[in-house]
Amino acid sequence: MIETKLFLVEGLPGSGKTTTAVFIANWLQQQGRETAVFLEGSLDHPADFESVACLDAREYGHLLARFPTEAAFLQRQVIQDGDDTFFRYRAMKQNYPELAEALIAVLAQYEIYELPVAKYQRLVRQRWQRFAEAAATGHTVYIFECCFLQNPLTMLLGRHNEPVSAAESFVLELADVVGELRPCLIYLHPGEVRATLTKIARERPSEWLDFVIAYHTQQGHGQAQGWQGFDGLVQFYEMRQAIELSLLSRLPFSHLLVEHNNWTQNQEYIATFLQDCPQERPLDRFTSDGDGANML
């Protein structure tokens, strides 16, 4: 019987993370397990933050003073945790589309992924810890897409140009935090980075490509290295992928590296891994040939 309560799906854009996360959930459900899937961008993520603002008491006071007519509404929406004041600002906008764009724009300035490094790490560490404690007492198996490796590394390197060693240490710290859940990680490595990004750029809106190029080349490590344009994006992702592959061998839990081109074969490989997980063992490496299908 599978004992793990957390599956982590990681890889670069276009590697098939969403398809894999959904496959894992379906496979587990067929085994009679209760599952909860949280894909990239999930606004109700239990361990990560997505479009969540965090203000201190002074900043919250200024917010109420700046938007007096919305003060009562804001007080109903606030999530208070000690000295930290949280707003799920994009969820608020979805639920209340009449909200002033100026209010949402101000809250977005306090986005957790835009905070100073020390505060970001404190909040993320705390959130993962609380998730792990809650999940350990239940029967649900959680499947998370891209929030364990991608998000911290993108924040610490792409946004703030922290030393690689510091970014790696933070990921390993999070790994210890969720250790009681006996996690299993599946890493998707479809091959050459440039080819993968070229393919996904043709499939996604140009606005997506413009955003990720700007994010990874006009700030943080990319800016410090002088990386520019699509070539700079490729360089950043090559660096990130190398770091992620290096981290796999240092994680204190089971993981699977899938170098895939054929999704049909990969389902068999992943199912075999799911059957065995969370037995501790050396790095598994499955490689298949052929053309990919339905990779998101």
* CATH number of the structural domain spanning residue 32: 3.40.50.300
Q: What is the pLDDT of residues 225-272, one digit of tens each?
A: 999 999 999 999 999 999 999 999 999 999 999 986 687 888 888 999
CA distances from 11 to 134, 193, 238 (A): 27, 11, 11
Is the confidence at residue 288, as pLDDT, over 70? no
Sorted by sequence, the CB contacts under 8 Å of residue 52 that are 6+ apart come out as 86, 87, 88, 89, 111, 112
Residue 76 and residue 30 share a domain: no
* pTM score over 0.85: yes
Q: What is the pLDDT of residues 76-106, one digit of tens each?
A: 999 999 999 999 999 999 999 999 999 999 9
Helix 229-248 × helix 206-217 angle, to 10°: 70
Q: Which of the two residues, 289 and 237, has the higher pLDDT score? A: 237
Is the confidence at residue 128, as pLDDT, over 60? yes
Question: What is the C-alpha to C-alpha distance for residues 247 and 295, in angstroms, rounded to an integer?
Answer: 24
Mean pLDDT for all residues in the chain:
91
Residue 295 lies in a domain: no
Residue 42 and residue 24 share a domain: yes
Sorted by sequence, the CB contacts under 8 Å of residue 101 that are 6+ apart come out as none
Q: What tokens appear for 168 in the block?
A: 């790696």
Q: Which of the two residues, 263 and 281, has the higher pLDDT score? A: 263
Share of the chain above pLDDT 70, in %: 92
Q: What tokens appear for 24 in the block?
A: 């894992």
Domain of residue 105, residue span: 53-110
Q: What tokens appear for 264 in the block?
A: 């049909």
Q: What is the pLDDT of residues 15-53, one digit of tens each?
A: 999 999 999 999 999 999 999 999 999 999 999 999 999
Residue 163 lies in a domain: yes
Q: What is the pLDDT of residue 84?
A: 96
Residue 240 lies in a domain: yes
CA nearest to 284, candidates 151, 212, 211, 189: 189
Residue 28 and residue 72 share a domain: no
Residue 44 and residue 10 share a domain: yes
Residue 141 lies in a domain: yes
Amino acid identity, residue 89? Answer: Y
Written in H, E and C, the secondary structure of 142-193 is EEEECCCCHHHHHHHHHHCCCCHHHHHHHHHHHHHHCHHHCCEEEEECCCCH
| Residue entry with tokens 């992620």 | 244
CA nearest to 151, candidates 29, 291, 39: 39
Domain boundary residue among 110, 129, 149? 110
Q: What is the pLDDT of residue 282?
A: 36
CA distances from 271 to 184, 209, 267, 277 (A): 13, 33, 6, 10
Is the confidence at residue 296, as pLDDT, over 60? no
Strand order in the sheet with 84-87: 53-55, 84-87, 79-81
Structural contact between residues 186 and 22, judged by C-beta atoms closer than 8 angstroms? no
Query: Which sign does the torsion angle of CA 82, 88, 89, 95 carry?
Result: negative
Query: How many structural domains comprise the chain?
Result: 2
